[in-house]
Amino acid sequence: MTHSAAILWVFVLFLFLSKPISSESDLSPEELSEIPRNFLSFARKAEIFDWMVGVRRKIHENPELGYEEFETSKLIRQELDQMGIPYKYPLAVTGVLGFIGSGEPPFVAIRADMDALLLQEMVEWDHKSKNDGKMHACGHDAHVAMLLGAAKILQENRHLLKGTVVLFFQPAEEGYGGAKKMIEDGALEKVEAIFGIHVDTLLPLGEVSSRSGPILAGSGFFEAVISGKGGHAAIPQQSIDPILAASNVIVSLQQLVSREADPLDSQVLTVAKFHGGGAFNVIPDSVTIGGTFRAFSNESFLQLKQRIKEVIIGQAAVQRCNASVSFESKDKIFFPPTVNDKDLHKLFQRVAGDMLSISGVKEMQPLMGSEDFSFYQEKIPGYFFLLGMKDETAEKPAHAHSPYFRINEDGLPFGAALHASMVVRYLFDSHKAGSTYSGYRAHDEL
């Protein structure tokens, strides 16, 4: 054998040995169905599980509010650096985008939100919040830990990725619409679909819940100032009473849903703020009221918004008062309905069924809560689901946004493995079909 022939033979042997044992192009249906269970086994390894728990607890001890997640973002970038995962930073002030795979299309994303709530933690444990008045009471600390866990799984199995996975670490979900800011900063460039998880402390561990179509409502806020003429409470005829006017406004607003909305078209309108007066014997000059309204479609949402304005101004006028109504501010923006793509729902059922069995995949009813993941779904197909994190040791599991909120950390491997499995299957199906998912259809939701 000549020297040049020997070099050629060694090169060919190197290519053969460096080729992955299997790739997406030669995976059988049986091998595909094994991936979710294999990923779950990997995420349950003691060193992986303990690492995710450690990440979650570090973030839980140092909760940060929207657009203030600087230490959380720093921790994320440190972990990505250790895994050798490139990233882009910053987006939306503190956001991070990580990239795993070929760097070529198709691009699919998985998302975690990072921010905490303005809430004093009442759960007594070793990793209680160290920041007074701030708490991870919605599970975003777990969301970050699970997405980093998925990143570790995917980085270890890069040979399965026929395309690119984008990791979205997003700030400011709690009312500030951080997803919208991420989009404005270019996070969705090239991304064809996106998946998101939210923990559910009332759903048993190892179960998931979701549905095709609307899953969470669109939400908006309103505030109205009703102005009259102040005066002495003992001489009401010399005043124009804005408290009486505001009371009539509130009663009339309650009739918008009960009398004007289709009973089969779920809507909510709640007046949750009433500020007026400061003395028992003085009629004030003005009263401020405010609240929230929610619906599952653009048409219903806009109709409700229009009628809120008309009723407030009209009813105030009946009582000889003036009214001004505002609906959006820097700190309060409209959230569109969260609407799951029907084809991604089928993918979710296959992947979750392979991992958890059919009995672990529940069909949920739509909820009137809202989620800024919906901003992504306005642009591209998206899918959002709930992951069971019920703590069976708690006598009364607390809902999200409670100072007693706590999760079962044994659920972290499920979230990490589901994240990773969903995007691997999405890329496989897209590659096999030779195109991206075609199930996305324009809809009339916000």
Tally Cβ neighbours within 10 Å of residue 438: 9
Residues in the chain, overall count: 446
Residue 140 annotated in ligand binding: yes
Q: In this predicted structure, what is the pLDDT of residue 337?
A: 95
Q: For residues 254 and 392, give the distance between their C-alpha atoms in angstroms, rounded to a whole number.
A: 38
Q: In this predicted structure, what is the pLDDT of residue 435?
A: 54
Q: In this predicted structure, what is the pLDDT of residue 446?
A: 36
pLDDT band at 3 (very low <50, low <70, confident <90, very high): very low
Q: Is the pLDDT of residue 24 over 70?
A: no
Question: Cβ distance 223 to 326 under 8 Å?
Answer: yes
Torsional sign, CA 206, 209, 212, 216: negative
pLDDT tens by residue, 379-413: 999 999 999 999 888 878 899 999 999 999 999 99
Q: In this predicted structure, what is the pLDDT of residue 25?
A: 54
User: Which domains can be identified in the chain, with CATH numbers?
Assistant: 24-214+337-433 (3.40.630.10), 218-326 (3.30.70.360)
Residue 198 annotated in ligand binding: yes
Q: For residues 91 and 98, give the distance between their C-alpha atoms in angstroms, rounded to a whole number.
A: 11
Q: In this predicted structure, what is the pLDDT of residue 434?
A: 76
Torsional sign, CA 404, 408, 412, 418: negative
Q: Rounded mean pLDDT of 123-152?
A: 97
Q: Is the pLDDT of residue 12 over 90?
A: no
The CA distances from residue 104 to 58, 274, 427, in Å, are 34, 54, 11
Q: Calculate what percentage of the chain has a pLDDT beyond 90.
A: 86
Q: In this predicted structure, what is the pLDDT of residue 224?
A: 98
Tally Cβ neighbours within 10 Å of residue 44: 15
pLDDT tens by residue, 316-335: 999 999 999 999 776 778 99
The answer to which of 13-17, 19-23, 235-239 has the lowest mean pLDDT is 13-17
User: Which residues does 21 contact at the CB level (< 8 Å), separation at least 6?
Assistant: none
Residue 159 annotated in ligand binding: no
Q: In this predicted structure, what is the pLDDT of residue 431?
A: 87
Q: Rounded mean pLDDT of 200-208?
A: 96
pLDDT tens by residue, 330-363: 677 899 999 999 999 999 999 999 999 999 999 9
Q: Rounded mean pLDDT of 184-198?
A: 98
Q: In this predicted structure, what is the pLDDT of residue 437?
A: 53
Q: Which residue has the tokens 């006598």?
A: 395
